[in-house]
Amino acid sequence: MQNTVTPTDVLECVISGDFHDPFSVLGMHRESGRLFVRTLLPGAVSVSVVDAHSGKELVRMERFADTALFDAEIPGRKEPFPYRLKIDWGTHRQELEDAYRFPCVLGDIDVWLLSEGTHHRPYERLGAHPAVMEGVAGVSFAVWAPNARRVSVVGDFNGWDGRRHMMRYRYECGVWEMFIPHVMPGDLYKYEIKDIAGEIRLKADPYAFRAQLRPDTASVVHGLPPAVPSDERRKAANAPDAPVSIYEVHLGSWRLPGDGRRWLTYRELAEQLIPYVKSLAFTHIELMPVNEYPYDDSWGYQSTGIYAPTARFGTPDDFRYFVEAAHDSGIGVILDWVPAHFPADEHGLVRFDGTALYEHADPKEGVHQDWGSIIYNYGRTEVSNYLVGNAFYWIERYGVDGLRVDAVASMLYRDYSRAPGQWVPNKYGGRENLEAIAFLRKLNETVIAERPEAVTMAEESTSFPGVTHPVRDGGLGFHYKWNLGWMHDTLSYLREDPLFRKYHHDKMRFGMMYAYSENFILPLSHDEVVHCKGSLIGKMPGDEWQRFANLRAYFGFMWGYPGKKLLFMGGEFAQYREWDSNGSLDWYLLQYPLHAGMQRLVRDLNTVYRDFSPLHRLDYDPQGFEWIIHDDTDSSVFCFMRRDGEKQSVIVISNFTPVPRYGYRIGVAEPGWYREIINTDAAIYGGSGVHNHELLAQPVSSNGMPWSLEVTAPPLATCMLVRKDS
């Protein structure tokens, strides 16, 4: 071999794939006044250097000690120049650009921002990006693995051989990077990592924009989706004074086509699901996680690819089409988003470079004992930046309208679901996870500052203070919070036989004691119809007619009550069976009048909710609600008024017994004629048809008001009244 400068032991390390700085050896170099090209090409029979401009073959390279390392001095040249490698593989010949002749991928600003964890868009630099460098098409790769001894890109394009494309290490930020010519969108790849102990780990790209369908686990080269412009209409539709009624969906089990042996694609769902949601007058659709995940029964809540829409339903472009179709139909899209934990699958984030990189090293901090999953280390700036960047990515690059953040309570408390002695206190000795709190605040501040049209929603099951309060006031900065307390209390009440509900009256009115402490969403989510909890209709007591009447009355009460609404798929037509994520909803039930009536009621409730401003405008202002009757325990009747802050009001009356209440007097604030705008006991919904004709307010004071109505409260029903001129 002609080279006499580079030590033999260094060359041997390069050949064995155990050298931390391959760019200092491979490629074109000036050494002792001479110009050399060196390449490592396992399987090559011979290699020559070709001038990239002229196409002239300059020199045949020599093999080093019968290895895969080839070397040549370029005769008559002293300055570096563009070149290619002409390779004889024995079975075929190939002329390729040498990946080791290209400069750094990351600029100085990127390195700085990534190192301090303040890069709002880390996905623009990390991951795999189709690019053109020095006029050559290829893909730039970058991955954070600061404790690795060596990182290589492997894929079909190099025979999955980790010696072919060993990456450059940027010690300033712990990132390994490389531009590889000739790699194309659609190519499979992973990172081969030699960790500090010399063990080889094969990892999917944490920033992959596309991934293989399970059980395969490779990442797929795919371009970064273009940014979606901000939309003031979407901002208005997500606002606290807007009607927000959410249809929660698991894409894999909403409906199965044909013989049920495959899923609907994103494009098929755009054609079927979106019109269905629109026909029921929901304003938003919430998707259980659509990021890539390995295990079907995790429903996406344990993800190994948070930047990649799952391949189960199509490509990233197909998912973008789905979101655009929703927006074209006036429907907002909310994604369930899971920064609380990740699975321990070997190809994922766990011990990514051989160390606890994304997670905590101590299992008392780093392992969810309930779920067997791994907890992110929010105190590492790079991890926080990875997650905040991902939230921003879905909003900016796919145009989603909101993120419902899963399992927030598990993030906020270090002792969450842990026995004494099995958790690590914070630096002050307390149970609050200060790093997670700081991360959530950073998340919400970033979304508000960069994409103010989008919203974040917390699934937070404790009474942690200020979840939806601004960060500047000491809050977490979420826009909305799920009211799980209201959901548990009211479902507990509805499970009671109507004969005994008078003893549980407080469960229906207790929620008003804290209703304005947060910006609440009222959720009837998938969590309530799975894991042996039964269906919503299955929780209702009585015979079939009573069960349906109870659920209709409950929906009416919920749609009248302050707070945005959320209903899981199947609830809208009262599916009998508990939700099965491996099957399909029981659509055949809609041939039966009670189920079809329930679906029609949900549509009409959504329509009334959208059309009558008192039902949504002052959801988070005490001026928007007033109890009229809350203490009639014997009759199990509730009556309240909703106001919009101007001149409009809606009266909501719920009777949770099967006894109709005729001549039931309720106070009203104004004289005039009143009419029903909805009655869950209407015959079109499957009810008994007891209803109110037009009612004239009488100058008889009642419930502290100067006027009153004598109404009929239908059995097991909710009705809503407005003045006739409304």
Q: Which residues are catalytic?
A: 406, 459
Q: Which residues have C-beta within 8 Å of that of residue 429, sequence separation ≥ 6?
A: none
Query: For residue 173, how far is the Cα from the chain centroid?
Result: 27
Element housing 605 (H / E): helix 593-611
Is the separation of the CB atoms in 702 and 708 below 8 Å? yes
Return d(Cα 275, Cα 639) in angstroms, integer: 35
Tokens of residue 585, six digits: 């909803």
Which residues are paired to 287 by β-bridges? Answer: 249, 335
Question: What secondary structure letter does DSSP report for 425?
Answer: -
In angstroms and rounded to an integer, the radius of gyration of the C-alpha atoms of the chain is 31
Report which of 174, 179, 99, 115 is spatially closest to residue 143, judged by C-alpha positions.
174
The contacts found for 470-475 with CB under 8 angstroms, 24 or more apart, are 471/441, 471/444, 471/445
Using an 8 Å Cβ cutoff, are 82 and 52 in contact? yes
Residues paired with 28 in a beta bridge: 37
Alpha helices in 329-433 (DSSP H): 363-366, 381-398, 408-412
What residues contact 351, with CB distance under 8 A and at least 6 apart? 195, 201, 357, 359
Structure tokens given for 501: 């509900």
Paired with 27 in beta bridges are 38
Taking the CA atoms of residue 48, residue 53, residue 56 and residue 58 in that order, the dihedral angle to the nearest 10 degrees is -50
CA 590 to chain centre: 31
Helices (H), 616-705: none
Q: Identify the burial level of 680 via C-beta atoms within 10 angstroms of its C-beta, where 0-12 means exposed, 13-18 middle and 19 or more buried.
A: buried
